[in-house]
Chains A and B, each alone.
Chain A
């Protein structure tokens, strides 16, 4: 077998294994709930029968492995069970299924993520390459200091500053972005602008710094020095000689930062009350609606793992040393 194929398959198997362990951890979270959580969910007035019925519905009378298999089977088919909220002590069940709650919101979050990525990735590449090109110039220093500052600032501070300038002082964008399914694409982009700008600022800083570092790292290699000695211009050295070899680390950086987006999205959605899955998760944590939290964790963790896996695989297949085995 070609060594690349073998390494890629190894990575894929490792990824699947990680997903399995992560699903075990997430599933077992419900085991650690305090014993009386049935009463906590159903209310103080719940009768013994309703609590028993609730425990039966959750399958707490079955052995753990059987429940795990059923849960994973459901998750694979997109069924995350029933939400804890909407249950009354009388035994009346007005709860909704988790997928019904988070399905539309997942779409909103994906929309926000795609919008952010399509602005942030080109911008970060441009800034990183130009900063490496004009290294140690005033431009480089300014971009560096600015990105160090945005990295060190909490997301919500960036968000509120943007809100202050672009929504309150200069009413350019809405300060709270509400997105409904019947809005046109333009309207959706318009109302999601401020959250997307915040996320862009946060991840561009990381990506730009890593792009710059990847290119500058290469500049110390002998073949670059050779090109310089031949009299090749600075811009040509970077664009023609350094950049092609820097693509692998840069691609890894991009995938890694898109994974970082997964975390950033939670805070930003809460700031702008954007109806996404991050806000759903925070609300569910506050009301301790464990099935919803589990579903959100599964989605976030899976996205994170898959993106990191893609980054790894891009790193492997773009490595020229692996392409030509001896």
Chain B
């Protein structure tokens, strides 16, 4: 721009020294344009992470502390959400559940990206026998529905947390492999990769400095989606009773242990007044809250992650509808 603020000259703007924005600035600009759904998602995710990180400071009691009377009501004897069928504090279990469930899902997703991502990159660069073998193997593994395969493997190796993480990570890495291979195939053929090869750069350098930065956006979005998927799979397995084993607190098994409470909600009577019905419903819902709170916690987190991923994909794909 010229010195005079009133006039604008295109030539001056083009001739201006281009300043590269710092990463922080770019993030701030990106966040400014985020829609409310994405903001909602990010705030929810941050809250969850906070609770998970500081679980032992937030939770008033231990996760497996059974020293209280069973089925206490809301607020009774300092138990915010009451106690469950063997007298464990529901609120504490929800808080510890955040740490265990999110932690295990996160470790599993990281492991599956480590396996799937590195094999995907290798297959894309190698393009010969290695690519063929890995791709056919992945085809076969993906032909069996994931939850069913996981159930079969768990019946053989038994349900331990380590086993659960490895099994889910291996099964999930097939999808990461496919995506990584597909997106990096487009990058591998680029001239700058060729140039780096001619410069004499090693394979690891090319993978890390030339290919990885260019395939990051789809991989980051996929990380969010895969995290949701892994999280839901582990929750479903725990709900079925073959995932995370007691006494570890986790949301899937909390739903399972307390699910029968939902059936004790009394029906809405047309004969009674609205107020009487409503009071009864609130009372019953408080009683039936443990499974609904745990399942709601799972649902809220996956919805939040989906909102953020949706926005991120929209932003990085450059789509303007």
Contact = CB atoms under 8 A, between A and B. Distances in A.
A270 interface: yes
A262 B148 contact: yes
Nearest to A284: B155
Contact of B152 (A26, A171, A176): A26
Contacts of A30: 156
Interface string B236-257: 1001111000000000000100
B145 A301 contact: yes
Contact of A293 (B140, B151, B264): B151
A297 interface: yes
A301 B143 contact: yes
Contact of B228 (A25, A152, A175, A259): A152
A148 B259 CA distance: 25
A133 to B, nearest CB: 16
A152 B299 contact: yes
Contacts of B232: 154
Contacts of A176: 263
A168 B267 contact: yes
A282 interface: yes
Given A157-B295, A157-B296, A168-B267, A18 B140 contact: yes
A311 interface: no
A163 B156 contact: no
A294 B152 contact: yes
Given A263-B147, A301-B143, A168 B263 contact: yes
Interface in B101-144: 139-140, 143-144
B236 A175 contact: no
B83 interface: no
Interface residues of B, number: 50
Contacts of A282: 151, 240-242
Contacts of A148: 303, 306-307, 310
B155 A266 contact: no
Contact of A285 (B154, B295, B303): B154
A132 B14 CA distance: 42
Given A160-B291, A301-B145, A29 B152 contact: yes
A297 B149 contact: yes
Nearest to B305: A152
B146 interface: yes
Contacts of A301: 143-145, 148-149
A32 B145 contact: no
Interface in A123-163: 136, 148-149, 151-157, 160, 163
User: Chain A's interface: helix, strand, loop or mixed, by majority?
Assistant: helix
A29 B153 contact: yes
B155 A263 contact: no
Contacts of A259: 145
A2 interface: no
B298 interface: yes
Nearest to B295: A157
Interface in A166-196: 167-171, 175-176
Contacts of B139: 18
Contacts of A271: 259
Contacts of A111: none
Contacts of A171: 267
A101 interface: no
A80 interface: no
A232 interface: no
A300 interface: yes
A281 B158 contact: no
A54 interface: no
A22 interface: yes
A290 interface: yes
B26 to A, nearest CB: 27
Given A152-B306, A168-B263, A304-B143, A267 B240 contact: yes
B211 interface: no
Contact of A154 (B151, B295, B306): B295
B54 interface: no
A239 interface: no
A33 B156 contact: yes
B140 A29 contact: no
Contacts of A108: none
A127 to B, nearest CB: 19
A288 B259 contact: no
A21 interface: yes
B145 A262 contact: yes
Contacts of B57: none
Q: Which of B144, B154, B235, B262 has the most CB of A within 10 A?
A: B144
Contacts of B145: 259, 262-263, 300-301, 304
17 contacts: A29-B152, A29-B156, A148-B306, A151-B306, A152-B299, A157-B296, A164-B265, A168-B266, A168-B267, A259-B145, A262-B145, A262-B148, A266-B240, A270-B240, A281-B151, A293-B152, A300-B148
Given A168-B263, A282-B241, A285-B240, 17 more contacts: A21-B143, A136-B321, A157-B296, A160-B291, A169-B267, A170-B267, A175-B263, A262-B148, A263-B145, A270-B239, A270-B240, A285-B154, A288-B158, A290-B155, A297-B148, A300-B148, A304-B145
Q: Closest 9 A-B residue pairs measured CB to CB?
A: A168-B265, A157-B295, A285-B155, A152-B302, A153-B299, A152-B303, A300-B148, A293-B155, A152-B306
